[in-house]
Amino acid sequence: MKRHLDGHKDLTTSVDVNHSIDPNDVWVPIASGPSDMTVCVEIGSEVKIGTKLAERNNHFYLPVFSPVSGTVTEEKKMLAGDGRLHNHLHIVNNHKNESAQAFQPLDYTKASREELLDFVKNAGVLGLGGAGFPTYVKYTKVDGIEMLVINAVECEPFLTADYKAMEENMDDLKLGVLALGKLSKAAKVVLAIKENKKAMIAKLKETFAGTNVEIKAVPDVYPMGYERTLAYQLTKKNYDRLPSEIGLIINNANTAIALGKALVTGMPITHKYVTVSGDAVKNPQTMYAPVGTTSGELLKVAGGVKDGIEDVLLINGGPMMGRVVPNDQWTISQSTNGVTVMKHVKVDAVNCLRCGACVDHCPMGLEPVRIADEHKVVDYAHLVKLRAMDCIECGLCTYVCPSKIDVTEKMRRAKTFVGAKMKAAQTAKGGK
């Protein structure tokens, strides 16, 4: 079952995007996935906005570019939004905003599909909906792809980063969606957005009139923006690992905007729309911030925490699927969408009532209460049978639990346990 949640989006929907973010220094993440990247600049060198800083050279090639002009001073492990330490490049901003065109713009209508694919790869376009996966990989093999879905649902409470980005970049969005449509070779292109976004739906219909892009309003329920939920909503089909199994490619609207911008300007992703909101933030707003800005810097711009609130939860992302990070020094990456700051109200959980609400609401059809049972989280076979690894960590089971049990956290622990066991089994078999 999916559920309507109070989105609290009114806190930032009508507030202008703050384009004034210009921190004195940035820490640009140069790790992507498990592997570190090869640094392309010397420590001490001067860089401009758009200078290539690092690249990952394995089969998921990905370059990273400088978001500011200034001096590269060091490579260091810093806290990232996943709560872990990763390699970052420190750049002291000279505030001159000098830029260097990173690559040649491209007319996608004249380019061959292969040229366009190469462009997407070398421009470092990646999934901006949270996954951070290099976009070109999804389009390398498109046999059997029937539908390209542009996901503009943004179902996480408080976040309006996609909405504000679309509002400000309608032309880039159109260009990016049409270019992705060409890459996908799909007969159908659908842009999905929540049905309650009436003004935006009208604007999108006007923008895409005369194209093959259908604007599809989907129900305002959570987690409609999650890929599996959206895929099912549009096709009534489920998939096992990847949407391509049912003929779909799904990309976030912000990814299409980034591609549209790159095609026109020859510039990569250097800045990110990030919503800084939550019930503890003084002046909630969406900001257009250089990648590598710390979350604390953004929170400061938003006026900090409201007076009288002492204990807060600082979340990378939204309150449902986001990750609580221990302090505000973590860095904004290309895929960060929100910094959510919530009052931390300590609630004492009571015993499970066996009410079944978590089971009724789980969008993956799991039995969270059985998986989360303290006695079962160390029972590998039991957890595999109950499909613990299918949990998408959407947070609904915690949200609906009348006993105030953090069921999702228990699910995470169960997944970590199963994941470690699986890895150990693979290693024992001689795999990596």
Which residues of this protein are in contact with ligand SF4, per CB under 6 A?
A: 352-358, 361-364, 366, 368-369, 391-397, 400-403, 405, 407-408, 411
Distance of alpha carbon 405 from alpha carbon 393, whole angstroms = 15
- Residue 166 or 407: which CB sits closer to ligand SF4? 407
Closest distance of CB 374 from ligand SF4, Å: 11
Which residues face 150 on adjacent strands? 191, 251
Structure tokens given for 151 = 């996901």
Minimum distance between the CB of residue 224 and ligand SF4, rounded to whole angstroms? 13
Min dist CB 316 to ligand SF4, Å, is: 17
Cβ closest to ligand SF4, residue 46 vs residue 390: 390
Q: Please measure the distance between the N-terminal and C-terminal CA atoms of the chain and give it in whole angstroms.
A: 37
Closest residue by Cα to residue 296 from 318, 312, 279, 319: 312
Q: Which is nearer to ligand SF4, 52 or 361 (CB)?
A: 361
Q: Please give the Cα distance from 4 to 9 (Å, whole number).
A: 13
Please give the C-alpha separations between residue 326 and each of 278, 296, 330, in angstroms, as whole numbers.
16, 12, 9
Q: Within the chain, how many helices (H) and strands (E) appear?
A: 14, 18
257 touches 177 (CB < 8 A): no
* Residue closer to ligand SF4 (CB basis): 202 or 350: 350
> Whose Cβ is closer to ligand SF4: residue 1's or residue 85's?
1
Residue 277: CB minimum distance to ligand SF4, A: 22
Distance CA 223, CA 206 (A): 27
SS3 category, 163: helix
In the block, tokens 């969606």 appear at 177
- Decide whether 177 or 358 has the Cβ nearer to ligand SF4: 358
Residue given tokens 């015993």 in the structure block: 351
Neighbours of 96 (CB within 10 A): 11
User: Smaller CB distance to ligand SF4: residue 99 or 233?
Assistant: 233
Residue 59, number of CB atoms within 10 A of its CB: 7
Q: CB-wise, 342 or 401, nearer to ligand SF4?
A: 401
Question: Least separation, in Å, of the C-beta of 109 and ligand SF4?
Answer: 41
* Cα–Cα dist 199/217, whole Å: 12
In terms of CB distance, is 332 or 407 closer to ligand SF4?
407
Nearest distance from residue 352's CB to ligand SF4, in Å? Answer: 3
Alpha carbon separation from 290 to 62, 97, 116, 285, 295 (Å, rounded): 18, 11, 26, 16, 11
Q: How far is the CB of 395 from ligand SF4 (least distance, A)?
A: 6
Least distance (Å) between residue 362 CB and ligand SF4: 3
Q: What tokens does 267 get?
A: 């510039």
What six digits make up the tokens of 67? Answer: 């978001």
